[in-house]
Amino acid sequence: MTAELAFPLAAICGYLAGSIPFGLLITRAAGLGDIRSIGSGNIGATNVLRTGRKDLALATLLLDSLKAGLVALAFGMLAGREVGFVAGAFAFVGHCYPIWLGFKGGKGVATYAGLLPFVSLPGFYVAAPVWLGLFALTRISSLAALSAATLVTPGAWLLGERNMFVIGGLALLSVFVFWTHRANLGRLLKGEEPKFGAKKKPDSET
């Protein structure tokens, strides 16, 4: 497969895979209606958890996490690491802006996290403990996500990631996370971001 074909094909397939709204599909299949009509209106696992079905929330989390990673793995095996990264990155974009839902999707944290082990283990080794540690301390998911996004690129470099295509891609995805969390960032700066488990205003989900 030539690069001229591989990169655009990876982008298209990655975007379509990322656009699959697992949270919406799972909750509808379970007879719970449209997940966008409750809580934050988000299609991610946190909002699915508001239905009271932990099993459905876990399934959503796993599927949203794996869809970018698996498409990155597939294209990486077919055409190389950089092409695989493009496929995974566009799956992240597809999750945030799914064509099937009028380009209104999730905020990409689970999808980004699930992509990292498949495209940059050093990046994953930084992001995972930062997110888990800060979330355990603060119970503020957006703060944990934004902190992990800030540190993943320099941390990956310090841990030995030297593929500049991947380093640049991680930096772009991290900027994207800040964009999808811009409302959360505003609340954080004002000290108004709710903790996990507390009542949340619409659009507060990560």
pLDDT in tens, 82-102: 999 999 999 999 999 999 899
Residue-wise pLDDT for 5-23, tens only, equals: 999 999 999 999 999 999 9
Residue 195 falls within a domain, yes or no? no
| Token pair belonging to 168 | 């640049």
Evaluate whether residue 200 is within a structural domain.
no
Does residue 98 form part of some domain? yes
Tally the domains of the chain: 1
Residue 197 lies in a domain: no
Beta-carbon contacts of residue 7 (< 8 Å; ≥ 6 apart): 83, 86
Token pair 């355990």 in the structure block, residue:
136
User: Is residue 54 included in any domain, yes or no?
Assistant: yes
Cβ–Cβ under 8 Å, residues 75 and 51:
no
The answer to the question of residue 199 being in a domain is no
In a domain, 196, yes or no: no
pTM of the predicted model, to two decimals? 0.88
Q: Which two tokens stand for residue 188?
A: 């954080």
Q: Which tokens sit at 22?
A: 């697992």
Contact 73, 61 (CB under 8 A): no
Domain assignment present for residue 206? The answer is no
Q: Which domain holds residue 180?
A: 3-190
For residues 37-52, average pLDDT: 80
Interval 186-191 mean pLDDT: 94
